[in-house]
Amino acid sequence: MSLPLLAVLVNYSCKRVDIYFPTDSISNFVEKPVVVEALKTRALPEGSCDKLLEFLRLYRDAVQMIVDRIWSINKRLSWKKLHRLFYSDLVRHGLRAHHAKEIYVYANSLVDSARSNSGRKPVLRKLSARIDKYDYRLDLDSMTLILKLHSDYEVKLRLITSRKRIEKFKGWSNYELAVKYEDGEFWVSVYFRRTIKPLKPRTVMAIDLNFDNVTIALFTFNGRLIRLKRFKTPHRKILTHRVWVERIQRRYPRSWRFIKGVRKAIERHGKKIKNISWDYSHKIGNLIAILALKYQSVIILEDLEELKENNKKSREFNKKLGLWFYRRIQFCIEYEARERNLEVVKINPRGTSSKCPRCGSKLIENENRVLMCRKCGFTGDRDVIATINLYRKYVSKYSRCGAPGVAPNAPKPDESPSGMQGNRDEAMKNTSSCMNSYES
Ligand SMILES: [Zn+2]
């Protein structure tokens, strides 16, 4: 059995992010790039809602029971073991086969994350359940949903949302949903996915993010630079709000949490930061994807996960803001690109802003963001060099189009001249379904 895939789902339009662990049933999708999106909507049961509430209580108590038991076992359990230990017990309580599986997998993931975070045993209060595709029938045309509950009960729900929102998901497949009861209302989140057939790229767009700028460079596969664009980031604005928050917290080091006015002031700055960062990310993501579609580009991003603690760029990010804003920008770029069937590839950024694109030696900072190579005399703007290096790395790793492209101003690729390491499938794997994680 394969490991569950961690996907971050986003209800993009209203900026909500849900983290969700699909089960092994979708492992065959990991190979292909896929867009996953949740449709969250209120749902109204037809007739009495007693059975649905009864089911949600049963489900919650069952999860809690399994959590308690896994907690007392105090060691990692394989899925096989989980099944052996808990399956028949759950089914005896009137739960269906797939309910049972969802429950022990979910309980196990709760215990796992509690152990690695707080160390306290999870206690469930909310009424919510995850339901596998075998246990519901969704009809988008009539906007109704039938849930199969415990002991062969069924409940029919009407989805309370606009046709327009539903329309988008026709032709997508859905594989799981979550139903919850909150403040007297039922809500469902249906998880949809769509496999992307990426357009065959004709050009390569390399993107470098740094504190002040987003630099976009567009290359042909044979190494000609055709467009170069630079956008300012709102980092300094965000930083100003951060400084304010820190100043307030320093002034009231012990009490800021408890004084309403102070807390409100901090929240106001937090909200500003959130708005500025999302607005910017949406805009830049959209802009980049439009440009990439026009030139039919594959988009090359830096793999932020590869930034190690001792890396210069990582230090720069963390000192000033943390990586979350870069992740958010990347997330929006990826999202908008996938919407347009464009391929996105992440490349390890190690050395991209410090090595000479012509000879590979270490560059030295000349003046004001201009880097120079002592060995071969190459000079260039730091951000542009980063994009050239990203392009070079991509081409030597993935390109199949004969000889690897030669970067502008950098005639001979010095190392690993083969453009045939890696193949198309590997490139796909890299761009497959895990959307970027983020921190709010
Ligand atoms: Zn050089």
Phi, psi of 181, deg, nearest 5 = -115, 125
* Structure tokens that stand for 303 in this block: 């793999």
Helices (H), 295-423: 312-320, 324-339, 382-398
pLDDT at 289 over 60: yes
> Higher model confidence: residue 57 or residue 323?
57
- Strand 16-20 and strand 173-182: pairing? unpaired
Share of the chain above pLDDT 90, in %: 54
> Higher model confidence: residue 239 or residue 255?
239
Owner of token pair 């193949």: 423
| C-alpha of residue 379 to centroid of ligand 1, in Å | 8
pLDDT at 366 over 90: no
pLDDT at 66 over 50: yes
| C-alpha of residue 221 to centroid of ligand 1, in Å | 22
- 3-state class of 68 per DSSP? helix
pTM of the model: 0.62
| C-alpha of residue 305 to centroid of ligand 1, in Å | 28
| C-alpha of residue 165 to centroid of ligand 1, in Å | 54
Average confidence score pLDDT of the chain: 81
So what's the pLDDT on residue 410? 39
Query: What does the pLDDT average to over 236-244?
Result: 89
So what's the pLDDT on residue 32? 63
Of 284, 280, 277, nearest to 241 by C-alpha is: 277
| C-alpha of residue 310 to centroid of ligand 1, in Å | 24
pLDDT at 3 over 90: no
Query: What does the pLDDT average to over 1-13?
Result: 32
pLDDT at 257 over 90: no
| Per-residue pLDDT band at 76 (split at 50, 70, 90) | confident
| C-alpha of residue 378 to centroid of ligand 1, in Å | 5
pLDDT at 311 over 80: no
pLDDT at 252 over 50: yes
So what's the pLDDT on residue 318? 58
| C-alpha of residue 372 to centroid of ligand 1, in Å | 8
| C-alpha of residue 52 to centroid of ligand 1, in Å | 68
pLDDT at 282 over 70: yes
Give 145-151's long-range contacts (Cβ < 8 A, gap of 24+): 145/43, 145/177, 145/188, 145/190, 147/52, 147/55, 147/179, 148/96, 149/51, 149/52, 149/54, 149/55, 150/54, 150/55, 150/58, 150/93, 150/94, 150/95, 150/96, 150/99, 151/94
pLDDT (tens digit per residue) in 384-437: 999 999 999 999 887 654 344 444 443 333 322 222 233 323 222 322 222 222
So what's the pLDDT on residue 353? 86
Residues 6+ apart with CB under 8 A from 267: none
So what's the pLDDT on residue 309? 56
pLDDT (tens digit per residue) in 30-47: 446 677 889 999 999 999
| C-alpha of residue 23 to centroid of ligand 1, in Å | 49
Q: How far apart are CA 42 and CA 269, in angstroms?
A: 32
| Per-residue pLDDT band at 362 (split at 50, 70, 90) | very high
The DSSP bridge partners found for residue 11 are 16
Burial label for 397, CB within 10 Å (0-12, 13-18, 19+), is: buried
| Per-residue pLDDT band at 320 (split at 50, 70, 90) | low
| C-alpha of residue 201 to centroid of ligand 1, in Å | 29
